[in-house]
Amino acid sequence: MKIAYIDCLSGISGDMFLGALVDSGVPLEQLQAAIDSLAIPVCRLEATSVHRKGFRSLKVKVHTEPEKAHRHLHHIVDKIEASQVLTAPQKDLAKRIFTKLGIAEATVHGTDLRKVHFHEVGAADSIADIVGAAVGITLLGVDRIVCSPVPTGSGFIEIDHGRVSIPAPATAELLKGIPLAPSVATIELTTPTGAAIVATVADTFGPLPAMTMQTIGIGAGDHDLKVQPNIMRLIIGESTAELARDDVWVLETNLDDVTGEVIGHATSKLLDAGALDVYTTAIQMKKNRPGVLITVLAPAELAAKCEKILFRETGTLGIRRYLASRHKLERRACSVETSIGLVAGKLATLSDGTESFSPEYEACRVIAAEKNLPLREVYEIALRAFEQKTT
């Protein structure tokens, strides 16, 4: 499996990402051709080798004429769709990045997605950054993208709406549910464009995954910082892990003053919201009171939503959260024909190549009710049918 790791040592911006892509071997000419096909004011890409706090890196600058265009999302989508150079996957990715950015802008300004107009990120150079990123990612041909926790920087910046603190409102909205990294740099490290890119393309966030590194591309930021190298690394390699791996957020809270009905209701709400798993553990709390530990496993994009449900439904005063790495077997939907009908299930592939079939509870429950059979008997029939099929 080919993996790309986005190492946001000093955050991420559109031009930093383009620099890392080109430094990784993506032809600058192909990015330029893609941007030239968009019918926007002329944008010329220039790649220059620079040093940031002593480290070599590649700076890709987008040269364009100043403009005051405030484009709506549909204007940009129309230009992407009209391109005769972009492939279908490249168009799809570029539109998804812009749509995610548009949703964030609409949220912070309290307006509808169709009405929101882009300011800085609607300028020609930002369009070039995002479309170039979409093209470069597809040219890399990676199977999985992992991103480090993202530092935003600190301090204040001036935008069209005045002076705001870092992270800028749209950047903060885009990074909800994504782990952030601390930084002492008093500058904007992660821009809305950079946040939109990682929020769209990253499959998971966390440390460098197990891999054999093949290519390291280094993109440079605009400024040469005193406190750290202003660079972003794109590390590409082949996975060395035998099992598939991803990262999940673990949310935990101790409860000793709520009823079983409340806990059961909260569990149902969490699962309906998309939690990967919810379970409870009996614990002993202070003053010898029996209590319940409720644990939630959630993907990064739903961690904040699950936290809100826990706070609202249980009345807890605090939730512990941490990122956990997990290995998982490859699995796919599978059905087996049995003497009592077709039974749906999951087929998992073990590390030695053998396969294991697990009947789906809901499918077995329906058949058990229809045939007036014990549930465990339906499970046994399905497992025997699978074994006979594979022998």
Tokens 């890196």, located at residue? 57
Average pLDDT, the chain: 90
Domain stops at, among 327, 347, 373: 327
| Beta carbons of 237 and 43 less than 8 angstroms apart | no
Structure confidence at residue 243 (pLDDT): 66
Question: What is the structure's pLDDT at 50?
Answer: 97
How many domains would you assign to the chain? Answer: 3
CATH number for the domain spanning 286: value is 3.30.70.1380
Q: Do 352 and 207 fall within a single domain?
A: no
| CA-derived radius of gyration, the chain | 25
Instruction: List Cα–Cα distances, 310 to 218, 226, 255, 257, in angstroms.
Output: 41, 42, 11, 14
Domain check: are 162 and 25 in the same one?
A: yes
Q: Are residues 318 and 342 in the same domain?
A: no
H helices within the chain, ranges in order? Answer: 14-23, 28-36, 73-82, 88-109, 124-140, 169-174, 192-201, 260-272, 303-314, 361-371, 375-390
CA distance 198 to 204: 10
Q: How far is 199 from 175, CA to CA, in rounded Å?
A: 7
Question: What averages of pLDDT result for each successive group of 10 residues across the chain (391 residues)?
Answer: 93 97 97 93 93 96 80 88 94 93 88 69 82 96 92 88 89 94 93 95 89 96 94 92 77 94 96 95 92 95 94 95 84 87 87 79 93 94 88 65
Identify whether residues 353 and 291 lie together within a single domain.
no
99-154 pLDDT, tens digit per residue, is 999 899 889 888 877 777 665 555 788 899 999 999 999 999 998 899 999 999 99
Q: Beta-strand (E) ranges in 200-319?
A: 204-205, 211-220, 231-239, 244-255, 277-284, 290-298
- How many Cβ atoms from other residues are within 10 Å of residue 159's Cβ? 14
Domain end marker among 273, 305, 327: 327
pTM of the model: 0.64
First and final CA of the chain: distance in angstroms?
A: 30
Residues 336, 385: contact at Cβ < 8 Å? yes
Q: Which structural domain range is residue 205 located in?
A: 2-242
Instruction: Extract the tokens encoding 9.
Output: 């040592």
Regarding whether 163 and 48 lie in a shared domain, the answer is yes
Q: Are residues 91 and 13 in the same domain?
A: yes
The pLDDT, as a whole number, for residue 121 is: 52
320, 342: one domain: no
CB atoms within 10 A of CB 66: 8
Query: Which helix (DSSP H) or strand (DSSP E) does residue 77 occupy?
Result: helix 73-82
Final residue before a domain boundary, out of 242, 258, 293: 242
283 and 141 in a single domain? The answer is no
Calpha distance 155→136 (Å, rounded): 32
Sheet holding 43-52, edge to edge: 43-52, 55-64, 211-220, 231-239, 2-7, 144-147, 204-205
Q: Specify whether 232 is located in the same domain as 358.
A: no
CATH assignment of the domain containing 339: 3.10.20.300
- Are residue 85 and residue 142 in the same domain, yes or no? yes
Q: Could you give the 3-state DSSP secondary structure of residue 181? A: strand
Task: Indicate whether 362 and 226 sit together in one domain.
Answer: no
Looking at the structure, tell me whether residues 64 and 160 fall in a common domain: yes
